[in-house]
Amino acid sequence: MPSLRLDLSVRSNTTLQRLRPRLEERYAHRVDPGMWESFKRRLESQFEALFAPVFALYGDHYDFFFHLETIVQTITEAWIEREGGLCGLDALREEDRSWFQSHRMVGATCYVDLFAGGFKALGDHLPYLKELGITYLHLMPIFRSPEGEDDGGYAVSDYRNVDPKLGTVEELREVATLFRQHGISLALDFVLNHTADEHEWAKRALDGDPNFQAYYRMFPDRELPDAYERNLHDVFPDDHDGAFSYRPRIKQWVWTTFHTYQWDLNYANPALLRQMTEEMLFLANLGVEVIRMDAVAFLWKELGTDCQNLPHAHDVLRVFSAAARIAAPATTLKSEAIVHPDEVRKYIHMDECQLSYNPQLMALLWDALATRKTTGLRVAMERRFQIDPGCAWVNYVRCHDDIGWAFSDEEVEAAGFDPRSHRRFLTKFYTGQHEGSFSRGLVFQENPETGDARVSGMTASLAGLEHAIEIDDPAEIELAIRRIVLLHGVIMTIGGMPLIYLGDEIAMLNDYGFEDDREKYADSRWVHRPPFDWERSERRHDNSTPEGRVYQSLQRLIQLRTQSLAFDRAETEFVDVGNEHVFAFFRNRDEHSALIIANFSENPQSISAKRLRNLGLRKTVVDTFKGEVITAGHELDVEPYQLMVLATGSSHAAARAALD
């Protein structure tokens, strides 16, 4: 291996020396000499990180060096086109590549049309976001997509033009600048696994252009599709069987992993990778600071495999990451991979995706809420929460998509459950089909053969608020509010960046109106994609309403997170407090420390004082979330669904002084 590394380094260096004069001749005269020298230094420092994955992907191609040079030219062109304000941000981020680990980073996500109507109106709602404490805003897909069925915008018809109902690309650029000036980083999706079948590339492919047909994976008969499908898993079984769709116009079977109108791109073609690098850097130059890399597990296909999480999928991402570090260092990549937790972690690396969704945490939070037991959650976090120290999780309670039970069988078994039957139980529980369930979710994509299914629903409805209001039970309403706050409390404090789906902070409920829309009724995910209820938000300061209780609690959590150094780039240490209903962990940074305790039961729980002493806590502690001093002489009493943030070390002294 060392000799291979040395050989690769020599090849990389030799190639760069050959490329440098050609780049000088073509580009140096277009920019200030000082800037060009700066770019050359950056290119030199990152060139091997670019060369290695491109070589791994295409090193056996006869025209490898041609394609490598075109990728480098694409990166250079994008850097030249980058405007001054973004170049300044690049310089700052090069000095602090882990800026997203700051405790001041608090995320939110929304659909532009549902939250604000369009880009101009989005800027008008900046005060609302700042009041809540948001410093990172992820806008759901905004680019052109087909009329009607478009997979919620994830069928992209044009990577360069936005949905005209939202505004224009220039208005998007202005919004990105405005938000950046107010300390809010903009995140957008890059749908890189597939395009819509009405994308210009697909149209050219349907016209018979072989160059654009090579952008996709097409087959003249069923021989290879059948061979591939022996090892593939259906992703959307309600939509179509298998992974291929027939196009009679060209008499070809097209690879369509998701919906039949979404054509998978062919990254075995280096020309396609170069083109997609250009599309990604276009996003970066709009002022997008975080790019969500969609469906990364499916990027590479190999016969005889399930075509998920293959090594070359990581090489593709490493090319994108190196390109961003050279052309736009202020840009950070975030992976979206709803796969086995061990595979999710493989995408997280400073040279790949620096941020990653944490689907395992999301699923296990709901699991703990249903079972009232936290053993599986604790065991999973102990095994898999730690990642590359320069990277971070994006932790969420729910997202635009369904809730799938994306956790390992090992954690389910550690909690004493059979994995297959337990997943069925969770689906029934969160769709209100299990006796005693408080939840009001809907089934999504149920596989009748395996019984596998996912769940759709707003956080408040899944946590019991909808049911409690229906039966007009104040006690149940109180428990539901506590569940909502508890879930968000964990993602705010556990380490990484929390992400709130806008609407959850004001406890919005399921919207069943989608059932009357002929374009949406078959997709239950629209039950949790309602228009933002601005009338409801007006009651966010009224503590007598559920929306006021939830909003003010989340606002308090955000303030607590951003004001305490115990949460700033701190370590997370999970602990067993001797009570299976209670989830607990320390956050530690230097002399600053906090112990978070979360009761996932509707019953009061207690923790032995002796156990707390062994963990280093005093008899008297300060709960900085509730704002009170607690004395635990014999045991610590924890209320139903209570979240405690106990100050320890110097944090204890500071919190005590603040209360005094």
By annotation, the residues acting in catalysis are 294, 336
Where does residue 533 rank: exposed (0-12), middle (13-18), buried (19+ CB within 10 A)? middle
Q: What's the rounded Cα separation, in Å, for the pair 296 and 294? A: 6
Q: Are 264 and 194 in contact (CB under 8 A)?
A: yes
Task: Count the neighbouring beta carbons within 10 Å of the beta carbon of residue 102.
Answer: 16
Q: Where are the alpha helices (DSSP H) in 28-125?
A: 33-58, 64-81, 84-95, 112-115, 119-124
* Of 613, 608, 611, 618, the residue nearest 647 (C-alpha): 618
Distance CA 185, CA 292 (A): 13
- Other CB atoms within a 10 A radius of the CB of residue 637 amount to 13
Residue type, 123: G
Q: Where are the beta strands (DSSP E) in 116-242?
A: 136-139, 185-190, 194-196, 218-219
Are 289 and 139 spatial neighbours (Cβ–Cβ below 8 Å)? no
Distance CA 358, CA 292 (A): 13
Q: Which residue's structure tokens are 């704002």?
A: 627
The amino acid at residue 246 is: Y
Encoding tokens for residue 594?
A: 């906090």
Query: 3-class SS at 209?
Result: coil
Q: On the CB side of 589, how many CA atoms lie within 13 Å of its CA?
A: 11
| Residues facing residue 649 across a β-bridge | 592
The structure tokens listed for 465 are: 């608020």
Q: Answer yes or no: are the C-beta atoms of 316 and 458 closer than 8 Å.
A: no
Tokens standing for residue 519:
């374009």
Number of Cα atoms under 13 Å in the Cβ half of residue 177: 15
Q: Where are the alpha helices (DSSP H) in 339-473?
A: 341-346, 359-371, 375-384, 409-414, 419-430, 459-462, 465-470
Q: Compute the half-sphere exposure of residue 517: CA atoms within 13 Å on the CB side of its CA.
A: 14
Closest by Cα among 127, 137, 131 to 180: 137
Q: Which helix (H) or strand (E) holds 597?
A: strand 592-599
Q: CA 280, CA 35: separation in Å to the nearest integer?
A: 22
Say which amino acid occupies 479: L
Burial of 207 (0-12, 13-18, 19+ CB in 10 A): exposed
Smallest Cα–Cα separation from 216: which of 249, 257, 248?
Answer: 257
Integer Cα distance of 464 and 477 in angstroms: 8
Rounded CA separation 43/72 (Å) = 9
Token pair, residue 476, equals 């149940």
Question: What angle (nearest 5°) sits at the alpha carbon of residue 316, between those of residues 16 and 44?
Answer: 20
Structure tokens at 213: 């047909």
CA-CA distance, 121 to 128, in Å (whole number)? Answer: 12
Angle at 209 between CA 206 and CA 215, to 5 degrees: 80
Contact 306, 233 (CB under 8 A): yes
